[in-house]
């Protein structure tokens, strides 16, 4: 029996003297631990879902642009500048990055879209639909018809825009847009489909064409794009991947800039930080309650054992060791609670990790920060949460025992031995 083993055993036995009280305190701590683990996991999952929904719908998680493109968004500020870059080569290099899930080139413009009966201002967007679908979800919202096909002179209209134009699938519309060469481009297009993204300003103005068709309308070269959007396996790695890609693409010239979503969607970062902050608040509130529970249990134990503390002092036990004895009991209590809390929370965490509960039928979908947010109870796979909670709980228990331990050290020996 080592001395350390002896003291842990003493701690264990002392806790066993008031079994009901110790079990109740440990149970409260265990539930606190489980609540922190499950709630933090759900919030982490919500935060992750939020980041994904805010970046997956249209924005992408990483993008390559000409550094001069934002905020004026001039037509001629294409990726690679005047020299341009071979688009296929650029996309190939981006796809080769192990963090990159999909790569989608984009071209933007503004113009007038006119039907037989009326006209409206339109935001033009040239995409390669099959590439775009690997990066974002907005093209999945086709409610009627189909996506524009390559070389077919087709457009996909936002639902509200189509309604205002009083047009529909199979009808013809005219696009008129200022071109990069200073002329006014105009072409006839067939409406291939109607899309509803859920973003009101997009649905009321978006005109989506095949990339080649928009390049032709705007008098731009086949490799000219304003943006290459990317999806990543892990959105939180965007800043790291952006740095790595910036370095690896440096040979393509200065007119090319890689930005992570954390830069071009700062409001999403702020909201994600708010969720992380809520996690800490939950952690602190629950552990503060746990601290009072432990302090109460240990204080009662200290009062009841005044005579014993007086005895061990008389036998020559140093004050620091008496403190260690009391704190050791709290440590045992904390470790027990972590073990019990893990047993309680693990099944729930695994369940919500693998079988999320979709509350959309009850809560509905919410459009928030250009993302379609669904209320899903899902625990994000993140092992630092239980580790952080376990360390926090044990530390809480230990710190909460410090005051009772000081009281134990200060027990007046002679008076306590005399039962006073």
Partner 1 sequence: MTPHPNGDGPHPAVDTHELWKIFGEGSTAVHAVQNVSIAIEPGEFVALCGPSGSGKTTLVNLIGGLTDPTRGTVRVDGRDVGAMSERARAQLRLERIGFVFQAYNLLPVLSALENAEFPLMLRGAGREERRREVSKLFEHIGLGGLEDRRPGALSGGQQQRVAVARAVLGAPALVLADEPTANLDTQASDNLLEVMEVLNRERGVTFIFCTHDPRVMRRARRIIRLVDGHVERDAEKEPGTLPDWVLEPVDT
Binding mask 315-334 for partner 1 (x = CB under 8 A): xxxxxxx-------------
Binding mask 32-71 for partner 1 (x = CB under 8 A): ----------------------------------------
Q: Taking the complex as a whole, how short is the minimal distance between the CB of residue 301 and partner 1, in angstroms? A: 11
According to the binding rule CB under 8 A, does residue 6 interact with partner 1?
yes
SS (H, E, C) the chain: CCHHHHHHHHHHHHHHHCHHHHHHHHHHHHHHHHHHHHHHHHHHHHHHHHHHHHHHCCCCCEEEECCCCCCCCCCCCCCCCCCCCCHHHHHHHHHCCCCEEEEEEEEEEEEEEECCCCEEEEEEEEECHHHHCCCCCHHHHEEEECCCCCCCCEEEEEHHHHHHHCCCCCCEEEEEEECCCCCEEEEEEEEEEEECCCCHHHHCCEEEEEHHHHHHHCCCCCCCCCEEEEEECCHHHHHHHHHHHHHHCHHHCCCCEEEEHHHHCHHHHHHHHHHHHHHHHHHHHHHHHHHHHHHHHHHHHHHHCHHHHHHHHHCCCCHHHHHHHHHHHHHHHHHHHHHHHHHHHHHHHHHHHHCCEECHHHHCEEEECCEEEECEECCCCCCHHHHHHHHHHHHHHHHHCHHHHHHHHCCCHHHHHCCC
According to the binding rule CB under 8 A, does residue 14 interact with partner 1?
yes
Which region among 91-99, 235-243, 303-311, 358-366 touches partner 1 (by CB under 8 A)?
303-311
Nearer to partner 1, 7 or 264 (CB): 7
Choosing from 19, 83, 182, 414, the residue that interacts with partner 1 (CB under 8 A) is: 414
Q: Is 25 left (phi over 0), alpha (psi -120 to 50) or beta?
A: alpha
Which region among 39-47, 96-104, 308-316, 398-406 touches partner 1 (by CB under 8 A)?
308-316
Q: Taking the complex as a whole, how short is the minimal distance between the CB of residue 375 and partner 1, in angstroms? A: 51
With the CA atoms of 215, 221, 225 and 230 taken in that order, what torsion angle do they form, in degrees rounded to the nearest 10? 100
Nearer to partner 1, 184 or 314 (CB): 314
According to the binding rule CB under 8 A, does residue 413 interact with partner 1?
yes
According to the binding rule CB under 8 A, does residue 363 interact with partner 1?
no
According to the binding rule CB under 8 A, does residue 347 interact with partner 1?
no
Binding mask 177-216 for partner 1 (x = CB under 8 A): ----------------------------------------
Helix 266-304 / helix 306-314 crossing angle, nearest 10 deg: 80
Tokens of 2: 């080592």
Q: Taking the complex as a whole, how short is the minimal distance between the CB of residue 319 and partner 1, in angstroms? A: 6
Which region among 12-20, 139-147, 219-227, 274-282 touches partner 1 (by CB under 8 A)?
12-20
Which region among 33-41, 136-144, 378-386, 410-418 touches partner 1 (by CB under 8 A)?
410-418
Binding mask 16-35 for partner 1 (x = CB under 8 A): xx------------------
Residue 273 exposed, middle or buried by CB count within 10 Å (0-12, 13-18, 19+): exposed
According to the binding rule CB under 8 A, does residue 13 interact with partner 1?
yes
CA angle 182, 186, 187 (to 5 degrees): 145
According to the binding rule CB under 8 A, does residue 310 interact with partner 1?
yes
**Interface with partner 1: number of residues (CB under 8 A):** 29
Choosing from 63, 106, 265, 313, the residue that interacts with partner 1 (CB under 8 A) is: 313
**Residue for token digits 């036995």?**
13
Choosing from 23, 172, 275, 311, the residue that interacts with partner 1 (CB under 8 A) is: 311
Q: Taking the complex as a whole, how short is the minimal distance between the CB of residue 399 and partner 1, in angstroms? A: 23
Nearer to partner 1, 323 or 335 (CB): 323
Choosing from 88, 247, 314, 387, the residue that interacts with partner 1 (CB under 8 A) is: 314
Nearer to partner 1, 217 or 322 (CB): 322
According to the binding rule CB under 8 A, does residue 3 interact with partner 1?
yes
Chain contacts with partner 1 (rule: CB under 8 A): 1, 3, 6, 10, 13-14, 16-17, 307-308, 310-321, 409, 412-415, 417-418
């Amino acid at each position: 029996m080592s001395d350390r083993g002896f003291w842990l055993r003493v701690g264990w036995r002392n806790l066993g003297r008031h079994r009901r009280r110790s079990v109740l305190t440990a149970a409260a701590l265990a539930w606190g631990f489980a609540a922190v683990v499950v709630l933090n996991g759900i919030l982490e999952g919500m935060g992750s879902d939020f980041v994904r929904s805010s970046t997956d719908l249209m924005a992408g998680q990483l993008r390559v642009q000409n550094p001069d493109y934002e905020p004026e968004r001039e037509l001629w500020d294409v990726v690679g500048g005047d020299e341009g870059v071979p688009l296929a080569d650029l996309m190939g290099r981006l796809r080769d990055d192990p963090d990159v899930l999909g790569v989608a080139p984009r071209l933007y413009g503004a113009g007038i879209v006119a039907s037989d009966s009326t006209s409206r201002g339109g935001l033009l967007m040239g995409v390669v639909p099959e590439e775009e679908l690997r990066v974002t979800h907005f093209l999945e919202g086709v409610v009627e018809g189909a996506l524009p096909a390559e070389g077919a002179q087709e457009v996909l209209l936002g639902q509200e825009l189509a309604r205002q134009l009083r047009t529909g699938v199979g009808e013809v519309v005219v696009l008129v847009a200022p071109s990069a060469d200073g002329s006014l481009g105009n072409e006839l297009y067939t409406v291939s489909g109607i899309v509803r993204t859920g973003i009101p300003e997009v649905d009321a103005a978006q005109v989506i064409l095949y990339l080649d068709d928009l390049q032709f309308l705007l008098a731009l070269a086949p490799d000219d794009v304003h943006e290459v959007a990317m999806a990543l396996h892990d959105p939180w790695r965007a800043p790291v991947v952006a740095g790595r890609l910036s370095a690896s693409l440096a040979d393509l010239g200065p007119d090319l800039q890689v930005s992570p979503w954390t830069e071009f969607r700062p409001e999403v970062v702020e909201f994600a930080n708010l969720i992380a902050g809520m996690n800490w608040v939950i952690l602190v509130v629950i552990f503060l309650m746990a601290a009072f529970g432990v302090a109460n249990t240990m204080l009662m134990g200290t009062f009841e054992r005044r005579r014993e503390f007086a005895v061990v002092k008389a036998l020559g036990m140093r004050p620091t060791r008496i403190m260690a004895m009391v704190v050791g009991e709290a440590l045992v209590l904390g470790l027990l609670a972590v073990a019990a809390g893990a047993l309680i929370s693990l099944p729930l965490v695994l369940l919500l990790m693998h079988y999320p509960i979709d509350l959309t039928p009850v809560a509905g979908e919410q459009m928030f920060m250009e993302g379609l947010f669904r209320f899903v109870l899902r625990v994000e796979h993140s092992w630092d949460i239980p580790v952080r909670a376990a360390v926090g709980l044990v530390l809480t228990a230990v710190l909460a025992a410090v005051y009772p331990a000081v009281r134990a050290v200060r027990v007046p020996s002679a008076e306590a031995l005399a039962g006073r």
